[in-house]
Amino acid sequence: MNQDTPQAYIDGFVYFCGLKFIVTSDTLIPRPETEQLVNSVVDFAKDHKDISIVDVGTGSGCIAILIAKKIPQAKITAIDVSEKALEIAKQNAQNHVVDITFLQNDLLANVKTKFDVIVANLPYIPSERIPNLDNSVKDFEPLHALDGGADGFDLYRKLFSQIISNNIQPDFLACEINDDQEDIALEESTKYFPNARIVVQNDSANLNRYLYVWF
Each residue of 98-143: pLDDT tens digit?
A: 999 999 999 999 999 999 999 999 999 999 999 999 999 999 999 9
pLDDT at 1: 60
pLDDT at 181: 97
Query: For 48-63, how does the pLDDT look when each residue is reduced to its tens digit (9 = 90+)?
Result: 889 999 999 999 999 9
Classify residue 119 by burial, with Cβ atoms within 10 Å: 0-12, 13-18, 19+: buried
pLDDT at 40: 98
Q: Which amino acid is at 82?
A: S
- Backbone angles phi and psi of 120, in degrees to 5: -145, 130
**To 10 degrees, the CA torsion angle through 56, 60, 63, 65?**
110
C-alpha dihedral sign at 173, 63, 39, 179:
negative
Report helix angle 62-70 to 34-45, nearest 10. Answer: 40
Which stretches in the chain have pLDDT values below 50?
A: none
pLDDT at 3: 81
